[in-house]
Amino acid sequence: MSVTVSAQKKKITDPAAKLKDEAIQDIQSKAAEYKKNAMEIWGFAEVGYKEVKSSGLHQQTLKDNGFTVEAGVAGIPTAFVATYGSGKPVIGILAEFDALPGMSQEAVPEKKAVDGKNAGHACGHHLFGTASVAAGLAIKKLIAEKKITGTVKVFGCPAEEGGSGKVYMVRAGLFNDADAIIHWHPGDDNEVTMTSALANKSAKFRFKGIAAHASGAPEKGRSSLDAVEAMDMMANMMREHMPQEARLHYVITNGGKAPNIVPDFAEVYYYIRHPKKEEVKAIFERVVKIAQGAALGTETTMEYEIIGGTHDMLLNKTLGEVMQKNLDKAGGVDYTPEEIEFAKKIQSTFTFKAPAIENAAKVKPFKTVPDAGGGSTDVGDVSYAVPTVGMSAVTWVAGTPAHSWQAVAAGGTDIGAKGMIVAAKTMAMTAIDLYTNSVIITKAAEEFKSAKGDYKYEALLGDRSPALNYRD
């Protein structure tokens, strides 16, 4: 009997549990306000390094709530660090807010672009940044009320979609004083992310030739488009001789202006990915040689500009297990009958069998799958600077792929906003554990050092300045 009473007393007086309940209530009470901010940014739909309004809204929200904001960090106008509190521990929360080009879409369950808009939030970063700010504000409130001690930082991270914004922030040392970094991502599952990302290196290859009349004097011309096509052909032949885990993809961003003019300029944009950063470097060098060969064979000249480069992800099981408990507490989301009808219409547009809509209410069990990542993220570079943990929350209809019009549509509704609140609560609770239990931070740091080993961080994009116009 005494054991039962003691256990009940411990549960009631557990300071972390009480603080978590307060954070949950604080975030839930402001859910309408956070949804408003997220939908404003959904409407802005600003692409990488152009997120002036989106970044500005987050910065103003944080300033209005007592944070000190340093803007324009790491040479990026839309990057910022917002700080509240003092001393250790220093817990950072990542916020993203860039949209994707060519993904304009209304918040309706059929494909319909917004008039006059090109970009859209097909990866849900309008929700990403807003949830991170919400979690930061919940922690700030507890620090201000002297219920926890330490520092909270919200990192405004532009251009995740191919621009490698966080890499420049890592390179500038902005994460060096952090004890742990927390992040999340919109998705169609509620789960702690214990899957690594693919290392990635990207570049734009530019060929210059000689313009001529394509019919009247073709012999006088040297086609830069021929060079691009020759490069692409050889790169595709190389696929047979790459490691099977590698990924190689490209788009021709400039192929000339008119069929009757031999193009004197052409450009192709390449991504190279692999689970290991060393393999990415090696394959990239082979692609450079292919570009050189294409230029030689077409009597054009070639130069290339590295656009982005990101590391794989260092997973931290210590932090992952802590976040899992908090995600379990936050739970999933339930849909109204109207939202279920919306979801069914979205799923009817899929070309594959979709998972059950009811999965939105479930939380996946904790599972580590180190090398199964199919995408790349500049969070990988952050994970090489400080112990890092992330999660996904259901903001899209079950089965929805990222970078799709269906993701944009759902993200512009309460379906997206509900998942955003789940993420905000989970991140805030995870941070509370770190503020109230120093053993977690110590253990996470030891795991981080072991996983990183002797590797000395080196940005895959080299020493170039931020590619602020990479979307032009």
| Per-residue model confidence as pLDDT tens digits over 205-262 | 999 999 999 999 999 999 999 999 999 999 999 999 999 999 999 999 999 999 999 9
Paired residues of 261 in beta bridges: 213
Helices 414-436 and 337-347, packing angle to 10 deg: 100
The alpha helices in 45-112, defined as continuous H runs, are 52-64
Peptide bond into 89 cis (omega under 30): yes
pLDDT at residue 230 in the model? 98
Could you tell me the residue ranges of all domains in the chain?
A: 2-196+312-452, 199-310
Q: Does residue 14 surpass a pLDDT of 90?
A: no
Between CA 78 and CA 420, with CA 158 as vertex, the angle to 5 degrees is: 115
- 114-122 own/partner pairs: CB under 8 Å, 24+ apart: 117/45, 119/45, 119/46, 119/47, 120/45, 120/405, 120/408, 121/41, 121/42, 121/45, 121/407, 121/408, 121/411, 121/412, 122/402, 122/403, 122/404, 122/405, 122/407, 122/408
Question: Domain 2-196+312-452: which topology?
Answer: Aminopeptidase (3.40.630)
Q: Which architecture characterizes domain 199-310 according to CATH?
A: 2-Layer Sandwich (3.30)
Over range 401-429, report the average pLDDT.
98
Q: What is the mean pLDDT of residues 410-428?
A: 98
Percent of the chain with pLDDT over 70: 97
Cα–Cα distance measured from residue 354 to residue 371, given in angstroms and rounded to the nearest whole number: 25
The more confidently predicted of residues 155 and 15 is: 155
